[in-house]
Amino acid sequence: MDTKTVQWIKFVHTNLESTAQSHHSAISGHVVGGLGQGRAPQVALLDDQAQRREVTVDAAGAFAFEELGPGLYSVGVVGREEVASRSDIALDGANCVALELVLPTLSESDNIEDSQGISCVTGIAPASAGRMARLLDVAGNEQAQIVGMDDGFRFEALPAGAYTLEVEGGYQLENLAVDGRNGWEVIFSPMLTTWKAKVSLAGEMPGYSVVRVEVEGQRDLPVHIWKDDWKGMSRRTGSKPEYGDFALEFSPLEPGVYMVEPEGLGVWTDVELTGLEVVWIDFRKQAVASASHMVRPLLENGAQAYTVSSSPAI
């Protein structure tokens, strides 16, 4: 630095663009035509995670969906998507799209057909052959079937409503909305097994602490405990059978923050002790999806229409 000259430092204010996702997009439009005498058309919006919203058009046939984030959307007149719908509407969180849905006049017999339950939910759950698949509606009514040898399942003749799909092994997908005519194909991503630790207080002790550990399904597995100023000790699961087949105990322990780690499982947790309590640490398996599940709409004849979501999980 030149000490013979005066150095100037100037502070300026700059508005930094927010990195948060904007939700200012909108889809609006008009329904031209009607669903029959005495029935006001409803328009459904589906996002790329199969989440559904519905609005009733006003007296002029107008509808609008606002505060939408980035993604791909589809809209259609409920029950008449095959003749009045638009798909692959791309929003960036700030743009607005206007469109028109032209609806032919329905006969009385068409109106009756619309109320019948002909929707279906079909799909594949990897490595699930022989396991139970369940479909539950919002009232708790359940349909169940055994997953086929090809890992496939199919629920048919579904009335309009929102459903939760579950397959043994950790597969689950909520808010699958059908209108009595449409359908969904669900392609579950393979499940991965990870470990999760749960720490809970189990009682009091007079003057020292006790840590009891259980590792689900693991017998004779070394578990280590240590802290910053102590190299620690190890015990094996099953060494305290009075607390469970896979249990062990560390005691007596002084106050401090300890780390507890089962060997070879890639999981550990810390626990803070005061010197006056019993603490239980449960290490349990947890199934998580290797990627986000794929949900694809079906045409009325059960054929695949297009892909809604296939992005990896974050």
pLDDT tens digits for 155-208?
Answer: 998 988 899 999 998 899 998 998 888 899 999 999 888 899 999 998 888 889
- pLDDT tens digits along 82-133: 778 888 899 999 999 999 988 776 554 444 444 456 789 999 999 999 999 9
CA dihedral 3, 8, 14, 19 (to 10 degrees): 0
Look at residue 70 in the predicted model and tell me its pLDDT.
93
Two structure tokens written together for 40: 């006001």
Residue 303, pLDDT above cutoff 60:
no
- Asked if residue 138 and residue 101 are part of one domain, the reply reads no
- Asked if residue 134 and residue 84 are part of one domain, the reply reads no
Residue 292's identity, in one-letter code, is S
CATH number at residue 182: 2.60.40.10
* 270 located within any domain: yes
Residue 306, SS3 per DSSP? coil
Q: Which domain holds residue 87?
A: 25-113
Two structure tokens written together for 48: 């790329």
More confident residue, 62 or 82: 62
pLDDT confidence tier of residue 314, bands split at 50, 70 and 90: very low
Distances in whole angstroms, Cα of residue 246 to Cα of each of 82, 249, 265, 280: 57, 11, 15, 13
Question: Could you give the number of structural domains in the chain?
Answer: 3
Strands 96-102 and 25-32: parallel
Look at residue 169 in the predicted model and tell me its pLDDT.
87
Look at residue 42 in the predicted model and tell me its pLDDT.
85
Does this model's pTM top 0.75? no
